[in-house]
Structure 1
Amino acid sequence: MSQLPELAVSFGAAAQDYDRYRTAPPAQALDWLLPADCASVLDLGAGTGLLTRQLADRAAEVVAVEPDARMREVLAAACPRATVLEGTGEHIPLPDARVDAVTISAAWHWMDPAVALPEIARVLKPGGTLGILYTRRDRRVPWLDRLDAYVHDEMGTDDRVGDLIGRMNDGPWLPDGVPFTEPEPHADTWTAAMSAEEVTAMFATYSRFIALPADRKRELAARIEAKVRETAEIRDDLVRLPLVCYSWRTRRTGS
Protein backbone atom coordinates (compact mmCIF):
# COMPACT_ATOMS: atom_id res chain seq x y z
CA MET A 1 0.00 0.00 0.00
CA SER A 2 1.30 3.43 -0.85
CA GLN A 3 -0.05 5.02 2.32
CA LEU A 4 -0.53 3.42 5.69
CA PRO A 5 -4.07 3.29 7.05
CA GLU A 6 -4.78 6.07 9.54
CA LEU A 7 -4.98 3.54 12.39
CA ALA A 8 -1.51 2.23 11.57
CA VAL A 9 0.04 5.59 12.45
CA SER A 10 -2.21 6.28 15.44
CA PHE A 11 0.10 4.60 17.96
CA GLY A 12 2.34 7.64 18.31
CA ALA A 13 -0.41 9.35 20.28
CA ALA A 14 0.20 6.75 22.99
CA ALA A 15 3.88 6.04 22.32
CA GLN A 16 5.04 6.16 25.95
CA ASP A 17 2.23 3.89 27.15
CA TYR A 18 2.82 1.57 24.20
CA ASP A 19 6.45 1.24 25.22
CA ARG A 20 5.57 0.69 28.87
CA TYR A 21 2.66 -1.74 28.63
CA ARG A 22 3.16 -3.77 25.46
CA THR A 23 5.03 -7.06 25.84
CA ALA A 24 8.24 -7.71 23.91
CA PRO A 25 8.90 -11.08 22.29
CA PRO A 26 10.77 -13.48 24.59
CA ALA A 27 14.48 -14.18 24.19
CA GLN A 28 13.82 -17.80 23.26
CA ALA A 29 11.86 -16.69 20.20
CA LEU A 30 14.93 -14.83 18.94
CA ASP A 31 17.15 -17.79 19.78
CA TRP A 32 15.03 -19.83 17.36
CA LEU A 33 14.52 -17.09 14.79
CA LEU A 34 17.98 -15.65 14.15
CA PRO A 35 21.11 -17.41 12.93
CA ALA A 36 24.00 -17.40 15.39
CA ASP A 37 26.26 -15.51 12.97
CA CYS A 38 23.75 -12.72 12.27
CA ALA A 39 25.78 -9.50 12.08
CA SER A 40 23.23 -7.02 10.71
CA VAL A 41 19.48 -6.87 11.35
CA LEU A 42 16.67 -4.64 10.10
CA ASP A 43 13.73 -4.30 12.51
CA LEU A 44 10.86 -3.30 10.23
CA GLY A 45 7.80 -1.55 11.64
CA ALA A 46 9.87 -1.25 14.80
CA GLY A 47 7.45 0.86 16.86
CA THR A 48 9.12 2.04 20.06
CA GLY A 49 11.84 -0.58 19.75
CA LEU A 50 10.63 -3.31 22.11
CA LEU A 51 12.28 -5.86 19.83
CA THR A 52 15.04 -3.54 18.57
CA ARG A 53 16.63 -3.39 22.03
CA GLN A 54 16.97 -7.16 22.14
CA LEU A 55 18.40 -7.22 18.63
CA ALA A 56 21.04 -4.69 19.69
CA ASP A 57 22.34 -7.26 22.19
CA ARG A 58 22.68 -9.89 19.45
CA ALA A 59 23.91 -8.17 16.28
CA ALA A 60 26.75 -5.76 15.61
CA GLU A 61 24.52 -3.52 13.51
CA VAL A 62 20.80 -2.87 13.96
CA VAL A 63 18.64 -0.67 11.74
CA ALA A 64 15.09 0.19 12.84
CA VAL A 65 12.55 1.43 10.29
CA GLU A 66 9.29 2.95 11.56
CA PRO A 67 6.76 5.30 9.86
CA ASP A 68 5.56 7.20 12.96
CA ALA A 69 7.84 10.02 14.11
CA ARG A 70 6.58 9.87 17.71
CA MET A 71 7.36 6.16 17.92
CA ARG A 72 10.80 6.76 16.39
CA GLU A 73 11.54 9.37 19.04
CA VAL A 74 10.90 6.89 21.86
CA LEU A 75 12.83 4.20 19.99
CA ALA A 76 15.91 6.37 19.44
CA ALA A 77 16.03 7.35 23.11
CA ALA A 78 15.61 3.76 24.31
CA CYS A 79 18.05 2.17 21.87
CA PRO A 80 20.85 4.59 20.93
CA ARG A 81 22.84 1.78 19.28
CA ALA A 82 20.26 1.41 16.52
CA THR A 83 20.16 3.46 13.34
CA VAL A 84 16.57 4.75 13.25
CA LEU A 85 15.01 5.60 9.87
CA GLU A 86 11.62 6.63 8.55
CA GLY A 87 10.06 4.07 6.23
CA THR A 88 7.56 1.27 5.75
CA GLY A 89 7.54 -2.34 4.68
CA GLU A 90 6.77 -1.23 1.16
CA HIS A 91 9.47 1.48 1.07
CA ILE A 92 12.65 0.52 2.94
CA PRO A 93 15.39 3.21 2.87
CA LEU A 94 18.30 0.77 2.49
CA PRO A 95 20.41 -0.37 -0.47
CA ASP A 96 20.22 -3.85 -1.99
CA ALA A 97 21.57 -6.89 -0.10
CA ARG A 98 22.19 -4.78 3.00
CA VAL A 99 21.29 -6.99 6.01
CA ASP A 100 21.55 -10.58 7.21
CA ALA A 101 18.06 -10.63 8.74
CA VAL A 102 14.78 -8.72 8.79
CA THR A 103 12.40 -8.91 11.76
CA ILE A 104 8.79 -7.73 11.89
CA SER A 105 7.14 -7.75 15.32
CA ALA A 106 3.39 -7.06 15.63
CA ALA A 107 3.34 -5.11 12.37
CA TRP A 108 2.92 -7.58 9.50
CA HIS A 109 -0.85 -6.97 9.30
CA TRP A 110 -0.18 -3.32 8.39
CA MET A 111 1.90 -4.31 5.34
CA ASP A 112 0.90 -5.31 1.81
CA PRO A 113 2.64 -8.68 1.28
CA ALA A 114 2.64 -8.36 -2.51
CA VAL A 115 4.72 -5.16 -2.23
CA ALA A 116 6.57 -5.65 1.06
CA LEU A 117 8.00 -9.12 0.39
CA PRO A 118 9.88 -8.14 -2.80
CA GLU A 119 11.15 -5.04 -0.98
CA ILE A 120 12.31 -7.14 1.97
CA ALA A 121 13.97 -9.59 -0.43
CA ARG A 122 15.77 -6.65 -2.04
CA VAL A 123 17.45 -5.52 1.19
CA LEU A 124 18.22 -9.05 2.45
CA LYS A 125 21.46 -10.75 1.54
CA PRO A 126 21.02 -14.07 -0.32
CA GLY A 127 20.24 -16.72 2.27
CA GLY A 128 19.19 -14.06 4.78
CA THR A 129 16.40 -14.64 7.30
CA LEU A 130 12.97 -13.00 7.50
CA GLY A 131 11.30 -13.44 10.89
CA ILE A 132 7.73 -12.39 11.68
CA LEU A 133 6.56 -12.35 15.30
CA TYR A 134 3.30 -11.70 17.15
CA THR A 135 3.26 -11.56 20.95
CA ARG A 136 -0.31 -11.89 22.21
CA ARG A 137 -2.52 -12.87 25.07
CA ASP A 138 -3.05 -16.62 24.77
CA ARG A 139 -6.71 -16.93 23.80
CA ARG A 140 -6.50 -20.71 24.06
CA VAL A 141 -6.98 -20.09 27.81
CA PRO A 142 -10.79 -19.90 28.36
CA TRP A 143 -10.97 -16.95 30.76
CA LEU A 144 -8.64 -14.90 28.58
CA ASP A 145 -10.63 -15.73 25.47
CA ARG A 146 -13.76 -14.43 27.23
CA LEU A 147 -11.95 -11.25 28.29
CA ASP A 148 -10.58 -10.57 24.82
CA ALA A 149 -13.98 -11.23 23.24
CA TYR A 150 -15.53 -8.73 25.67
CA VAL A 151 -12.99 -6.03 24.78
CA HIS A 152 -13.47 -6.59 21.04
CA ASP A 153 -17.26 -6.36 21.49
CA GLU A 154 -16.95 -3.15 23.50
CA MET A 155 -14.75 -1.55 20.81
CA GLY A 156 -16.84 -2.94 17.94
CA THR A 157 -13.87 -4.75 16.39
CA ASP A 158 -12.99 -8.27 15.35
CA ASP A 159 -9.70 -10.06 16.02
CA ARG A 160 -8.25 -9.72 12.53
CA VAL A 161 -4.71 -10.27 13.79
CA GLY A 162 -5.83 -13.50 15.42
CA ASP A 163 -7.46 -14.53 12.15
CA LEU A 164 -4.23 -13.72 10.30
CA ILE A 165 -2.18 -15.79 12.75
CA GLY A 166 -4.55 -18.70 12.25
CA ARG A 167 -4.10 -18.56 8.49
CA MET A 168 -0.31 -18.31 8.82
CA ASN A 169 -0.23 -21.33 11.14
CA ASP A 170 -2.58 -23.42 9.00
CA GLY A 171 -0.54 -23.67 5.83
CA PRO A 172 1.18 -21.92 2.92
CA TRP A 173 0.57 -18.18 2.95
CA LEU A 174 3.35 -16.54 0.93
CA PRO A 175 2.27 -15.04 -2.41
CA ASP A 176 3.40 -16.94 -5.48
CA GLY A 177 6.73 -15.96 -6.97
CA VAL A 178 8.42 -14.35 -3.96
CA PRO A 179 12.02 -15.50 -3.36
CA PHE A 180 11.53 -17.09 0.05
CA THR A 181 11.42 -20.62 1.43
CA GLU A 182 8.19 -21.93 2.94
CA PRO A 183 7.89 -20.33 6.41
CA GLU A 184 8.47 -22.51 9.47
CA PRO A 185 6.09 -21.82 12.41
CA HIS A 186 7.09 -21.74 16.07
CA ALA A 187 5.46 -20.72 19.37
CA ASP A 188 6.68 -19.84 22.86
CA THR A 189 4.39 -19.53 25.89
CA TRP A 190 4.87 -17.97 29.32
CA THR A 191 2.90 -16.19 32.05
CA ALA A 192 3.34 -12.56 33.06
CA ALA A 193 2.30 -11.06 36.40
CA MET A 194 0.54 -7.71 35.95
CA SER A 195 -1.85 -5.58 37.95
CA ALA A 196 -5.41 -5.18 36.69
CA GLU A 197 -4.57 -1.55 35.95
CA GLU A 198 -1.59 -2.60 33.82
CA VAL A 199 -3.67 -5.11 31.87
CA THR A 200 -6.24 -2.38 31.21
CA ALA A 201 -3.48 0.03 30.15
CA MET A 202 -2.20 -2.60 27.72
CA PHE A 203 -5.61 -2.81 26.05
CA ALA A 204 -5.59 1.00 25.86
CA THR A 205 -2.52 0.92 23.56
CA TYR A 206 -4.42 -0.70 20.69
CA SER A 207 -5.27 1.42 17.67
CA ARG A 208 -9.06 1.23 17.98
CA PHE A 209 -8.90 2.38 21.60
CA ILE A 210 -6.46 5.20 20.82
CA ALA A 211 -8.85 6.51 18.15
CA LEU A 212 -11.77 6.86 20.60
CA PRO A 213 -12.87 10.23 22.05
CA ALA A 214 -11.44 10.98 25.50
CA ASP A 215 -14.71 10.50 27.40
CA ARG A 216 -15.31 7.15 25.71
CA LYS A 217 -11.74 6.09 26.58
CA ARG A 218 -12.32 6.81 30.27
CA GLU A 219 -15.63 4.97 30.29
CA LEU A 220 -14.28 1.97 28.40
CA ALA A 221 -11.11 1.73 30.51
CA ALA A 222 -13.24 1.55 33.67
CA ARG A 223 -15.41 -1.17 32.15
CA ILE A 224 -12.40 -3.18 30.97
CA GLU A 225 -10.70 -2.97 34.37
CA ALA A 226 -13.88 -4.19 36.07
CA LYS A 227 -14.09 -7.07 33.60
CA VAL A 228 -10.43 -7.96 34.20
CA ARG A 229 -11.06 -8.16 37.95
CA GLU A 230 -14.19 -10.24 37.39
CA THR A 231 -12.69 -12.63 34.81
CA ALA A 232 -8.95 -13.00 35.31
CA GLU A 233 -6.91 -15.42 37.37
CA ILE A 234 -5.58 -13.18 40.16
CA ARG A 235 -3.13 -14.15 42.92
CA ASP A 236 -1.54 -11.73 45.38
CA ASP A 237 -3.36 -8.87 43.62
CA LEU A 238 -1.65 -9.67 40.30
CA VAL A 239 -3.22 -11.03 37.13
CA ARG A 240 -1.46 -14.18 35.90
CA LEU A 241 -1.61 -13.34 32.20
CA PRO A 242 -0.90 -16.21 29.78
CA LEU A 243 1.08 -15.00 26.75
CA VAL A 244 2.18 -16.61 23.51
CA CYS A 245 4.67 -15.47 20.89
CA TYR A 246 3.98 -16.88 17.44
CA SER A 247 6.97 -16.77 15.09
CA TRP A 248 7.62 -17.67 11.45
CA ARG A 249 11.06 -18.07 9.91
CA THR A 250 11.84 -18.05 6.20
CA ARG A 251 15.01 -17.53 4.17
CA ARG A 252 15.68 -15.55 1.04
CA THR A 253 16.40 -17.73 -1.97
CA GLY A 254 18.30 -16.91 -5.14
CA SER A 255 21.18 -14.52 -5.62
Structure 2
Amino acid sequence: MGNSTDQPVHDAALHARRASSFGAAAAAYAEHRPDYPADGIRWALEPLGGKEKPKVLDLGAGTGKLTEGLLSLGFEVTAVEPDEAMLAELAGRYPAATALTGTAESIPLPDGAVDAVVVGQAFHWFDQQRALPEIARVLRPGGVLAALWNTDDLSVDWVAELQRVSRSDVSAPMPPQREEAPMPTHPLFGDFESTEVSHVQRRTAESLTATIGTQSHTLVISPQERAELLGRIADYLRGRPETAAGEFDLPIVTLVIRSVLR
Protein backbone atom coordinates (compact mmCIF):
# COMPACT_ATOMS: atom_id res chain seq x y z
CA MET A 1 0.00 0.00 0.00
CA GLY A 2 1.18 3.49 -0.72
CA ASN A 3 1.51 5.95 2.07
CA SER A 4 -1.60 8.10 1.73
CA THR A 5 -2.54 7.59 5.38
CA ASP A 6 1.02 8.23 6.59
CA GLN A 7 0.78 12.01 6.42
CA PRO A 8 1.56 14.54 9.16
CA VAL A 9 -1.09 15.50 11.69
CA HIS A 10 -1.73 18.82 13.41
CA ASP A 11 -1.07 17.53 16.95
CA ALA A 12 2.64 18.27 17.43
CA ALA A 13 3.27 15.51 19.97
CA LEU A 14 1.52 12.89 17.87
CA HIS A 15 3.32 14.10 14.77
CA ALA A 16 6.67 13.66 16.55
CA ARG A 17 5.70 10.16 17.74
CA ARG A 18 4.70 9.12 14.26
CA ALA A 19 7.82 10.61 12.69
CA SER A 20 10.07 8.63 15.05
CA SER A 21 8.06 5.38 15.03
CA PHE A 22 9.70 3.56 12.13
CA GLY A 23 12.91 2.29 13.71
CA ALA A 24 11.16 -0.41 15.72
CA ALA A 25 9.81 -1.82 12.45
CA ALA A 26 12.99 -1.31 10.39
CA ALA A 27 13.33 -4.91 9.17
CA ALA A 28 9.66 -5.11 8.19
CA TYR A 29 9.90 -1.69 6.54
CA ALA A 30 12.85 -2.85 4.44
CA GLU A 31 11.06 -6.04 3.46
CA HIS A 32 7.60 -4.72 2.68
CA ARG A 33 7.64 -1.08 1.62
CA PRO A 34 7.45 -0.48 -2.15
CA ASP A 35 10.39 0.76 -4.16
CA TYR A 36 10.27 3.77 -6.52
CA PRO A 37 9.80 3.60 -10.29
CA ALA A 38 12.92 4.30 -12.35
CA ASP A 39 10.97 6.67 -14.62
CA GLY A 40 10.02 8.78 -11.61
CA ILE A 41 13.62 8.98 -10.40
CA ARG A 42 14.84 9.90 -13.88
CA TRP A 43 12.26 12.67 -14.16
CA ALA A 44 13.18 13.97 -10.71
CA LEU A 45 16.82 14.37 -11.70
CA GLU A 46 16.32 15.35 -15.34
CA PRO A 47 17.49 18.96 -14.74
CA LEU A 48 21.00 17.60 -14.12
CA GLY A 49 21.22 16.87 -17.82
CA GLY A 50 24.02 14.64 -18.98
CA LYS A 51 26.28 15.16 -15.97
CA GLU A 52 28.46 12.08 -15.53
CA LYS A 53 27.76 10.11 -12.31
CA PRO A 54 26.14 12.89 -10.30
CA LYS A 55 26.49 12.88 -6.53
CA VAL A 56 23.06 12.49 -4.94
CA LEU A 57 22.01 12.79 -1.30
CA ASP A 58 19.11 10.55 -0.25
CA LEU A 59 17.80 12.56 2.72
CA GLY A 60 15.65 10.84 5.32
CA ALA A 61 16.70 7.67 3.55
CA GLY A 62 15.07 5.16 5.87
CA THR A 63 16.08 1.63 4.94
CA GLY A 64 17.15 2.64 1.44
CA LYS A 65 14.09 2.17 -0.75
CA LEU A 66 15.08 5.19 -2.84
CA THR A 67 18.80 4.56 -2.40
CA GLU A 68 18.35 1.26 -4.22
CA GLY A 69 16.79 2.95 -7.25
CA LEU A 70 19.44 5.66 -7.35
CA LEU A 71 22.27 3.12 -7.26
CA SER A 72 20.69 1.02 -9.99
CA LEU A 73 20.64 4.10 -12.25
CA GLY A 74 24.34 4.73 -11.69
CA PHE A 75 24.30 7.64 -9.25
CA GLU A 76 26.87 8.09 -6.49
CA VAL A 77 24.73 8.05 -3.36
CA THR A 78 25.12 9.37 0.16
CA ALA A 79 22.26 8.36 2.44
CA VAL A 80 21.44 10.38 5.56
CA GLU A 81 18.97 9.04 8.14
CA PRO A 82 18.43 9.91 11.83
CA ASP A 83 17.20 6.51 13.03
CA GLU A 84 20.03 4.09 13.79
CA ALA A 85 17.95 0.94 13.18
CA MET A 86 16.76 2.18 9.80
CA LEU A 87 20.27 3.27 8.83
CA ALA A 88 21.70 -0.12 9.84
CA GLU A 89 19.24 -1.84 7.50
CA LEU A 90 20.26 0.50 4.69
CA ALA A 91 24.00 0.02 5.25
CA GLY A 92 23.66 -3.75 5.31
CA ARG A 93 21.58 -3.89 2.14
CA TYR A 94 23.35 -1.21 0.07
CA PRO A 95 27.05 -1.07 0.96
CA ALA A 96 27.77 0.92 -2.22
CA ALA A 97 26.10 3.94 -0.63
CA THR A 98 27.76 6.11 2.00
CA ALA A 99 25.49 5.90 5.05
CA LEU A 100 25.55 8.76 7.58
CA THR A 101 23.54 9.63 10.66
CA GLY A 102 21.91 13.02 10.36
CA THR A 103 18.72 14.99 9.82
CA ALA A 104 17.28 17.27 7.17
CA GLU A 105 17.77 20.17 9.55
CA SER A 106 21.45 19.32 10.19
CA ILE A 107 23.00 17.52 7.23
CA PRO A 108 26.48 16.08 7.93
CA LEU A 109 27.99 17.26 4.62
CA PRO A 110 30.06 20.29 3.62
CA ASP A 111 28.75 23.15 1.53
CA GLY A 112 28.18 22.32 -2.13
CA ALA A 113 28.78 18.61 -1.66
CA VAL A 114 26.10 17.14 -3.94
CA ASP A 115 24.40 17.71 -7.26
CA ALA A 116 20.96 16.70 -6.01
CA VAL A 117 19.00 16.03 -2.84
CA VAL A 118 16.17 13.52 -3.11
CA VAL A 119 13.63 12.59 -0.46
CA GLY A 120 11.49 9.45 -0.53
CA GLN A 121 8.33 9.39 1.58
CA ALA A 122 9.84 11.71 4.20
CA PHE A 123 9.61 15.36 3.13
CA HIS A 124 6.42 15.93 5.14
CA TRP A 125 8.26 14.97 8.35
CA PHE A 126 10.86 17.75 7.94
CA ASP A 127 10.85 21.14 9.65
CA GLN A 128 10.82 22.83 6.28
CA GLN A 129 11.77 26.30 7.51
CA ARG A 130 15.05 24.85 8.75
CA ALA A 131 15.48 22.06 6.23
CA LEU A 132 15.21 24.01 2.99
CA PRO A 133 18.14 26.38 3.72
CA GLU A 134 20.19 23.38 4.89
CA ILE A 135 19.39 21.49 1.69
CA ALA A 136 20.36 24.55 -0.34
CA ARG A 137 23.65 24.74 1.56
CA VAL A 138 24.79 21.25 0.54
CA LEU A 139 23.71 21.65 -3.10
CA ARG A 140 26.02 22.82 -5.84
CA PRO A 141 24.92 25.71 -8.10
CA GLY A 142 22.06 24.52 -10.28
CA GLY A 143 21.47 21.55 -8.00
CA VAL A 144 18.13 19.75 -7.80
CA LEU A 145 15.80 19.12 -4.87
CA ALA A 146 13.24 16.39 -5.52
CA ALA A 147 10.73 14.53 -3.37
CA LEU A 148 8.82 11.34 -4.15
CA TRP A 149 5.75 9.76 -2.53
CA ASN A 150 4.24 6.37 -3.25
CA THR A 151 0.49 6.85 -2.81
CA ASP A 152 -2.58 4.67 -3.11
CA ASP A 153 -4.26 4.67 -6.50
CA LEU A 154 -7.69 5.64 -5.21
CA SER A 155 -9.23 5.36 -8.68
CA VAL A 156 -9.25 1.59 -8.09
CA ASP A 157 -12.32 0.62 -6.05
CA TRP A 158 -10.74 -2.06 -3.87
CA VAL A 159 -7.77 0.18 -3.05
CA ALA A 160 -10.03 3.09 -2.07
CA GLU A 161 -12.04 0.78 0.20
CA LEU A 162 -8.83 -0.66 1.65
CA GLN A 163 -7.76 2.82 2.70
CA ARG A 164 -11.04 3.25 4.58
CA VAL A 165 -10.66 -0.17 6.24
CA SER A 166 -7.06 0.67 7.23
CA ARG A 167 -7.78 3.81 9.22
CA SER A 168 -6.71 3.88 12.87
CA ASP A 169 -7.60 6.25 15.70
CA VAL A 170 -4.66 8.49 14.81
CA SER A 171 -5.29 8.66 11.06
CA ALA A 172 -6.04 12.11 9.68
CA PRO A 173 -9.77 12.99 9.69
CA MET A 174 -9.96 12.82 5.89
CA PRO A 175 -7.70 10.78 3.60
CA PRO A 176 -5.15 13.23 2.16
CA GLN A 177 -5.18 13.48 -1.61
CA ARG A 178 -2.04 13.45 -3.72
CA GLU A 179 -2.38 17.09 -4.61
CA GLU A 180 -2.12 17.96 -0.91
CA ALA A 181 1.50 16.83 -0.73
CA PRO A 182 3.69 19.77 0.31
CA MET A 183 4.78 22.04 -2.54
CA PRO A 184 7.00 24.52 -0.71
CA THR A 185 8.03 27.93 -1.95
CA HIS A 186 11.34 29.35 -0.88
CA PRO A 187 13.53 32.17 -2.23
CA LEU A 188 16.49 29.79 -2.58
CA PHE A 189 14.60 27.51 -4.98
CA GLY A 190 12.77 27.97 -8.26
CA ASP A 191 9.18 26.95 -8.84
CA PHE A 192 8.35 23.33 -8.07
CA GLU A 193 7.20 21.11 -10.91
CA SER A 194 5.34 17.86 -10.40
CA THR A 195 4.39 14.69 -12.22
CA GLU A 196 2.77 11.36 -11.44
CA VAL A 197 4.09 7.95 -12.48
CA SER A 198 2.10 4.72 -12.42
CA HIS A 199 3.74 1.99 -10.38
CA VAL A 200 2.86 -1.46 -8.98
CA GLN A 201 4.03 -3.69 -6.16
CA ARG A 202 3.51 -7.46 -6.21
CA ARG A 203 1.76 -8.41 -2.97
CA THR A 204 -0.29 -11.09 -1.22
CA ALA A 205 -3.00 -10.48 1.38
CA GLU A 206 -0.46 -11.27 4.08
CA SER A 207 2.37 -9.13 2.71
CA LEU A 208 0.10 -6.16 2.03
CA THR A 209 -1.22 -6.37 5.59
CA ALA A 210 2.41 -6.37 6.76
CA THR A 211 3.14 -3.36 4.56
CA ILE A 212 0.36 -1.35 6.15
CA GLY A 213 1.71 -2.46 9.51
CA THR A 214 4.88 -0.43 8.80
CA GLN A 215 2.95 2.85 8.47
CA SER A 216 3.13 5.31 11.33
CA HIS A 217 -0.60 5.40 11.98
CA THR A 218 -0.42 1.67 12.81
CA LEU A 219 2.86 1.84 14.75
CA VAL A 220 1.89 4.34 17.45
CA ILE A 221 -1.44 2.80 18.52
CA SER A 222 -1.85 0.29 21.34
CA PRO A 223 -0.93 -3.37 20.70
CA GLN A 224 -4.59 -4.35 21.03
CA GLU A 225 -5.81 -1.76 18.55
CA ARG A 226 -2.96 -2.64 16.17
CA ALA A 227 -3.85 -6.36 16.27
CA GLU A 228 -7.52 -5.57 15.65
CA LEU A 229 -6.68 -3.20 12.81
CA LEU A 230 -4.30 -5.59 11.03
CA GLY A 231 -6.81 -8.42 11.49
CA ARG A 232 -9.53 -6.29 9.90
CA ILE A 233 -7.23 -5.48 6.96
CA ALA A 234 -6.31 -9.13 6.43
CA ASP A 235 -9.98 -10.19 6.55
CA TYR A 236 -10.87 -7.52 3.99
CA LEU A 237 -8.12 -8.58 1.59
CA ARG A 238 -9.01 -12.25 1.89
CA GLY A 239 -12.63 -11.39 1.14
CA ARG A 240 -12.03 -9.39 -2.06
CA PRO A 241 -11.85 -11.32 -5.34
CA GLU A 242 -8.96 -9.13 -6.53
CA THR A 243 -6.78 -10.02 -3.53
CA ALA A 244 -8.14 -13.22 -1.99
CA ALA A 245 -5.87 -15.83 -3.58
CA GLY A 246 -2.12 -15.73 -4.23
CA GLU A 247 -0.21 -12.76 -5.58
CA PHE A 248 -1.70 -9.62 -7.11
CA ASP A 249 -0.49 -6.22 -8.29
CA LEU A 250 -1.05 -3.34 -5.89
CA PRO A 251 -1.60 -0.21 -8.04
CA ILE A 252 0.40 2.79 -6.86
CA VAL A 253 0.74 6.34 -8.10
CA THR A 254 4.15 7.88 -7.43
CA LEU A 255 4.02 11.64 -7.02
CA VAL A 256 7.29 13.43 -7.84
CA ILE A 257 8.10 17.09 -7.29
CA ARG A 258 11.33 18.86 -8.22
CA SER A 259 12.96 22.26 -8.14
CA VAL A 260 16.33 23.75 -9.04
CA LEU A 261 18.48 25.80 -6.68
CA ARG A 262 18.45 29.46 -7.74
**Normalising to structure 1: TM-score of the pair?**
0.88
CA deviation after TM superposition for structure 1 residue 160, in Å: 7.6
Secondary structure, aligned partner of 2:176: helix
CA deviation after TM superposition for structure 1 residue 144, in Å: 1.0
CA 219–100 in structure 1, closer or farther in 2 if over 3 Å, else same: same
In the alignment, which residue of structure 1 is the partner of 2:184?
A: 174
Summarize the alignment of residues 33-52 of structure 1 with structure 2, pairs less than 5 Å apart: 33-34=44-45, 35=48, 36-37=50-51, 38-52=53-67
Instruction: Please tell me the residue identity of whatever aligns with 2:214.
Output: T
CA deviation after TM superposition for structure 1 residue 216, in Å: 3.0
CA 99–159 in structure 1, closer or farther in 2 if over 3 Å, else same: farther
CA deviation after TM superposition for structure 1 residue 168, in Å: 4.5
* Whole-angstrom distance in 1 between the partners of 2:221 and 2:236: 19
Q: 1:16 aligns with which of 19, 23, 27?
A: 27
Instruction: Name structure 2 gaps, 5 residues minimum.
Output: 1-11
CA deviation after TM superposition for structure 1 residue 25, in Å: 0.7
Secondary structure, aligned partner of 1:90: coil
Summarize the alignment of residues 1-255 of structure 1 with structure 2, pairs less than 5 Å apart: 5-34=16-45, 35=48, 36-37=50-51, 38-59=53-74, 61-152=76-167, 154-158=168-172, 162-163=176-177, 165-168=178-181, 173-177=183-187, 179-231=188-240, 233-234=242-243, 237-253=246-262
Answer with 29-38 or 87-96: which moved more: 29-38
Instruction: Please tell me the residue identity of whatever aligns with 1:12.
Output: G
Question: Percent identity among equivalent residues?
Answer: 37
CA deviation after TM superposition for structure 1 residue 112, in Å: 1.7
Q: Is the Cα contact below 8 Å between 2:115 and 2:144 reproduced in 1?
A: yes
CA deviation after TM superposition for structure 1 residue 180, in Å: 1.1
* Whole-angstrom distance in 2 between the partners of 1:60 and 1:203: 30
Instruction: Provide the aligned C-alpha RMSD in A.
Output: 2.2
CA deviation after TM superposition for structure 1 residue 231, in Å: 4.1
* Whole-angstrom distance in 2 between the partners of 1:68 and 1:160: 29
Instruction: Please tell me the residue identity of whatever aligns with 2:104.
Output: G
Answer with 68-77 or 224-233: which moved more: 224-233
**Normalising to structure 2: TM-score of the pair?**
0.86
Q: Is the Cα contact below 8 Å between 1:109 and 1:161 reproduced in 2?
A: no
Secondary structure, aligned partner of 1:5: helix
Secondary structure, aligned partner of 1:234: coil
* Whole-angstrom distance in 2 between the partners of 1:89 and 1:81: 22
Aligned length: 245
CA deviation after TM superposition for structure 1 residue 161, in Å: 8.1
Instruction: Please tell me the residue identity of whatever aligns with 2:29.
Output: Y
* Whole-angstrom distance in 1 between the partners of 2:202 and 2:68: 22
Instruction: Please tell me the residue identity of whatever aligns with 1:20.
Output: E
Secondary structure, aligned partner of 2:166: helix
Q: Which runs of 4+ in 1 moved over 4 A?
A: none
Instruction: Please tell me the residue identity of whatever aligns with 1:76.
Output: A
Instruction: Name structure 1 gaps, 5 residues minimum.
Output: none
Instruction: Please tell me the residue identity of whatever aligns with 2:43.
Output: W
Q: Is the Cα contact below 8 Å between 2:218 and 2:226 reproduced in 1?
A: yes
* Whole-angstrom distance in 1 between the partners of 2:74 and 2:175: 29
